[in-house]
Structure 1
Amino acid sequence: MTAAVESEAPAEVLPGLYDIDAELYHSDPIPGGSLSSSGARKLATECPAKFKYWSEHPQPVKKEFELGTAAHTLILGDGPELVVVDAEKWTTNAVKAEVAAIRAEGKTPLKPSDLKRVTEMVAALRADPDAAPFLEPGSGVAEQSAFWEDHGIWRRARFDWLRHDGQLVDYKTTKSANPSDLPKVIHDWGYHQQQEYYLDAGLALDLVDPEKPFQFVLQEKEPPYLVVVTTCDPVARGIGRHLNDRALNTFALCRASGEWPGYLEAPLTALPAWVERQYA
């Protein structure tokens, strides 16, 4: 299965898969607005007012995420340009200015040691017998943007890796890929929502093979850069779908009314349950 890809955002709104840059995707090229996977995760866990502010005030990429971004770029062969800053300490004004200029251009600055680190991460992933086949160069296309309409709401998603055989694969860097830690990782980052959101996109646009499960490839950022391949179980998927549905319903209601309310009233507030147990 091979995706049909357009190279520009649509002149008029048409569902499809587009090979557009990340900046255009994140700016939301759909007239009237659309809901992204990240937006659905935000709207499912935050009040509408905070989601509205977040959507209108894009945050720059956090410095602590740059290593993961660099690994992502090297592994998928697509992403921000990597620029090595010839200094291990970014403390002088000159180096700080150089780093700031690189970030302002949408590129990723790296220390020489960090470039060595991400290169070693790529080598570790390519050597992993379970993970390597899913992200094999030439087996798919990276960073494709999907736009589709769902009951009057436009939705969007940006795939890490859409394989030519119709399987979706998402690469993540993480502090721990230990299977015992994965339930918390999946929950904290909303990956169960992301999995179902991306599958909705793939199925709506006939891009994925429903018999091929979505796969997360998670890699630790510390040596020996261990890798684990996983997918959410049926219960996690069901919760993800429920949260996505709630986000979509909230988005539709708020957009129709033009009101994005804050927190619900809290006239009475209890102490934490663990405190109450001490006095039970």
Structure 2
Amino acid sequence: MSHEIRTLADDEQITEPGFYRISLDRHHSQPCDGPSVTSGVLRTMEKKGPSKVWAYHQLNPNRFEEKRSDALRMGTAMAAYIEGGLAGLEAEFQILPENAPSRPTAAQINALKEGRETETARRSITFWSNVRKDGREIVSQGEFDLLAAMGAALAADPAAAAVLGGEPEITMAAFDERTGLWMLARPDNMNFDGTLSDYKKVNTQGRPFNQTLCSHRTEDHEYTMQMAFAADVFERLTGIWSDQCGLVFQEDEPPHDVILLPIPEEDLRIGQFLNRQAMTRFRECLDANHWPGPGEVITPFHRNPERREALLERMQTAGAAP
């Protein structure tokens, strides 16, 4: 199979397995000629269940609008900066100057409509109208300075620079015959030698930035599933199972230290197992048009076992054991 990376036209769908250059938004917006799943969908199936997946899914005509968190916005901005430097960041984000006016209030907008606005209100309304027309997402000057400092620290780390030295933000598409679903993986960086990596910006919230914290974050967010999904799709496209698969963590506090966290083979296989179970469940829910929530199966209250034993012992002592 060819390792060519194709740029997909705006009016074109993915109809063949391969490597594609498409926007992140399009990656998450069902770009194939059949239903597709991403790592985020599968991790949500595993951690939160089908109802949470369907609530925000592109195939749901009554879906809720998903809010874009500051963490995701800054992560996307950092990925753009790593990929293309300042030019790459400015292609996707507009940088607000430090002296940007405050957003206009409803009262100021109404005053403008009625022809009685102040000069301050006019400047605010004009500025933010131009921001909206621009269409790119926003980073403040302070956020940009942080991205530049982190980017410089990342580039100065030889190991991180090597891991992130392949093709950035490539959508890898493979068709799964078992479920009839397209699998779309998009690690932050992919190299045809089998190196797959994803970058994670970390706010430690006062805790030490170390391997233990990175491992906890990996388990909490099921990043092993994410990397196993990339390894699985990469193998389907190239015949190569990645033995160089891992995460690049960077602290957002100076000096912006970097930790590389390779994912062992056993954990990748565990992630692969969880991904395939989640794909099967997604297919079943899609076919049945039924996306159960956590309350569908009724289970009784479960007290903490240690607390239960202590209480039963007290009741036994008091001659009131059940």
Instruction: Tell me the TM-score normalised to structure 2 length.
Output: 0.75
Structure 2 residue aligned with 1:154: 182
Superposed counterparts of 1:1-280, under 5 Å = 3-8=3-8, 11=13, 13-56=15-58, 57=63, 59-77=66-84, 81-87=92-98, 91-93=102-104, 102=131, 107-136=136-165, 140-150=166-176, 151=178, 152-176=180-204, 177-206=209-238, 209-210=240-241, 212-263=243-294, 264-273=296-305, 275-276=307-308, 278-280=310-312
- Assess, with a 3 A threshold, how the Cα gap between structure 1 residues 172 and 245 changes in structure 2: closer, same or farther: same
- Assess, with a 3 A threshold, how the Cα gap between structure 1 residues 143 and 101 changes in structure 2: closer, same or farther: farther
- Assess, with a 3 A threshold, how the Cα gap between structure 1 residues 126 and 31 changes in structure 2: closer, same or farther: same
Moved more, 83-92 or 185-194: 83-92
Secondary structure of 1:244 counterpart: helix
Q: Deviations over 1:211-268 (max 9, x none)?
A: 6411211111111111011122344324312321220110121222222222232241
Q: Deviations over 1:18-58 (max 9, x none)?
A: 11112221111123411111101011122212211121445
1:163 partner amino acid: N
Distance in 2 of aligned mates of 1:229 and 1:15: 30
2:35 partner amino acid: G
Instruction: Tell me the CA shift for residue 120 of structure 1.
Output: 0.7
- Identity, in percent, stands at 25
Q: What stretches of structure 1 of length at least 5 have no aligned partner?
A: none
Instruction: Tell me the CA shift for residue 273 of structure 1.
Output: 4.2
- Assess, with a 3 A threshold, how the Cα gap between structure 1 residues 12 and 103 changes in structure 2: closer, same or farther: same
Instruction: Tell me the TM-score normalised to structure 1 length.
Output: 0.86
Secondary structure of 1:262 counterpart: coil
Secondary structure of 2:290 counterpart: coil
1:175 partner amino acid: N
* Bigger CA radius of gyration: 2
User: Larger relative contact order (C-alpha < 8 A, sep ≥ 6)?
Assistant: 1
Distance in 2 of aligned mates of 1:274 and 1:90: 57
- Assess, with a 3 A threshold, how the Cα gap between structure 1 residues 170 and 99 changes in structure 2: closer, same or farther: farther
Structure 1 residue aligned with 2:315: none
Distance in 1 of aligned mates of 2:253 and 2:126: 28
Moved more, 47-56 or 270-279: 270-279
CA contact 1:17–1:144 (8 Å) conserved in 2: yes
Secondary structure of 2:183 counterpart: strand
1:243 partner amino acid: L
1:214 partner amino acid: C
2:139 partner amino acid: L
Instruction: Tell me the CA shift for residue 275 of structure 1.
Output: 4.0
Q: What stretches of structure 2 of length at least 5 have no aligned partner?
A: 105-122, 313-322
What RMSD in Å do the two structures reach over aligned CA positions?
2.9
Instruction: Tell me the CA shift for residue 86 of structure 1.
Output: 1.3
Moved more, 149-158 or 98-107: 98-107
